[in-house]
Chain A
Amino acid sequence: MNRPVQTEKPAAPSTEPERSSTGELLTTISGEPVKPLYKQEDANVDYDRDLGDPGQYPYTRGVYETMHRGRMFTMRQFAGFGTAEETNERFRYLLDHGQTGLSTAYDMPSLMGHDSDDPLSLGEVGREGVAIDTLDDMTTLFQGIPLDKVSTSMTINAPAAIMLAFYVAAAERQNIPPSQLAGTFQTDILKEYIAQKEWCFPIDHAMRLVTDLIEYCTREMPKMHPVSISGYHIREAGSTAQQELAFTLADGFAYVKAGIERGLDVDDFAPRLSFFFNAQIEFFEEIAKYRAARRIWARELRETYGAKNPKSMLMRFHTQTAGVSLTAQQPEVNHIRTAIEALAGVLGGTQSLHTNSYDEALALPTEDAVRIALRTQQVIAHETGVTRTADPLGGSYYVETLTNEMEAAAYDYFRRIDELGGIVESIKRGFPQREIADAAFRYQREVDAGERIVVGVNKYELEDEEQMEILRIAPELERKQIGRVQAVKATRSVPEVEASLKSLREAAATDQNLLYPILDCARVMASEGEIVHALQDVFGTYREVPVF
Chain B
Amino acid sequence: MSETATSPTPVSKKKIRVVVAKPGLDGHDRGAKIIARALRDAGMEVIYTGLHQTPEQIVETALQEDADAIGLSILSGAHMTLVPKIIELLNEQDAGDILVTVGGTIPADDIPPLKELGVAEVFTPGAPTNAIVDFINGAVEV
Contact = CB atoms under 8 A, between A and B. Distances in A.
A458 B126 CA distance: 8
A498 interface: no
Interface stretch (B28-36, B63-71, B94-102): B28-36
B138 interface: no
Interface of B: 2, 5, 20, 24-30, 32-34, 36-38, 40, 46, 48-52, 54, 76-78, 80-82, 105, 107-109, 124-126, 128-130
Contacts, number: 113
A457 B126 contact: yes
A161 to B, nearest CB: 20
A328 B126 contact: yes
Contact of A328 (B34, B109, B125, B130): B125
A123 B81 contact: yes
A122 B130 contact: no
Contacts of B105: 328, 361-363
Contact of A440 (B26, B34, B128): B34
Contacts of A124: 24-26, 76-78, 81
Nearest to B79: A123
Contacts of A237: 28-30
A92 B126 CA distance: 35
Nearest to B51: A197
Given A111-B25, A120-B25, A123-B78, A441 B37 contact: yes
Nearest to A546: B50
Given A127-B78, A328-B124, A444 B129 contact: yes
Given A363-B105, A444-B34, A108 B24 contact: yes
A328 B128 CA distance: 13
Contacts of A7: none
- Chain A contact patch, size range: 35 or more
A361 B28 CA distance: 13
A11 to B, nearest CB: 22
A127 B36 CA distance: 26
A23 B129 CA distance: 20
B76 A128 contact: yes
Contacts of B46: 548
B30 A238 contact: yes
A198 interface: yes
Given A197-B29, A327-B126, A445-B2, 5 more contacts: A196-B27, A362-B107, A362-B125, A364-B77, A547-B33
Given A112-B52, A127-B78, A197-B51, A548 B128 contact: no
B25 A544 contact: no
Nearest to B46: A548
Nearest to A472: B107
B57 to A, nearest CB: 11
Nearest to A328: B125
A259 interface: no
A437 interface: yes
Contact of A448 (B30, B36, B107, B130): B130
